[in-house]
Amino acid sequence: MATATHYLEVNAPAAQCYQWWRPLTHLPQIMDDVRSVEPKSGQADVTHWTVDGPLGKSIEWDAKIIDEETDRKIAWKSLEESNNHVETGGAVRFDPHGDTTGVEVSLHVTTPGGAVGDLGAKLFADPQKKIEKALEEFKRLMESSPRA
């Protein structure tokens, strides 16, 4: 299992940060490997993910928001029935500090053995570096956006 966690301060209020993250559909803007995150069947808490992998391959799965507190946290995990062969999940926490917000993102992935496992291992290589880069991009987006 690979895990990664990163925390940084963003010069934006928690409500603005939360609203950007809540649908999860914006993640391709900050995560290079994520091609799309789309709502599934009109459900606000279930999304279909497509992630680019090595050699032009991609991995897809469905995920459900499993824990949520408005302006404070969002957690999600892949659904077994989406038959993705990869167990993945994550959480983002928002710690309001007035006009700034502490944002912590945690991701985890467990891949099976065999060819699918090899693809997953390459896809999720160095998750710590990927999450740090994603949060830096999120910070840039929030700090360059007009305040709500």
Q: Please provide the DSSP assignment of 97-148 as one string.
A: ETTEEEEEEEEEEE--SHHHHHHHHHHTSSHHHHHHHHHHHHHHHHHHSPP-
pLDDT value at 88 more than 70: yes
Q: Which pTM does this prediction carry?
A: 0.86
Mean pLDDT over 24-30 rounds to 96
Q: How far apart are CA 13 and CA 110, in angstroms?
A: 33
Of 146, 138, 143, the residue nearest 29 (C-alpha)? 138
| pLDDT band, residue 24 (cuts 50/70/90) | very high
For residue 135, the model assigns a pLDDT of 97
pLDDT value at 38 more than 80: yes
Mean of all residue pLDDT scores within the chain: 86
Strand partners, 111: none
pLDDT value at 5 more than 90: yes
For residue 127, the model assigns a pLDDT of 82
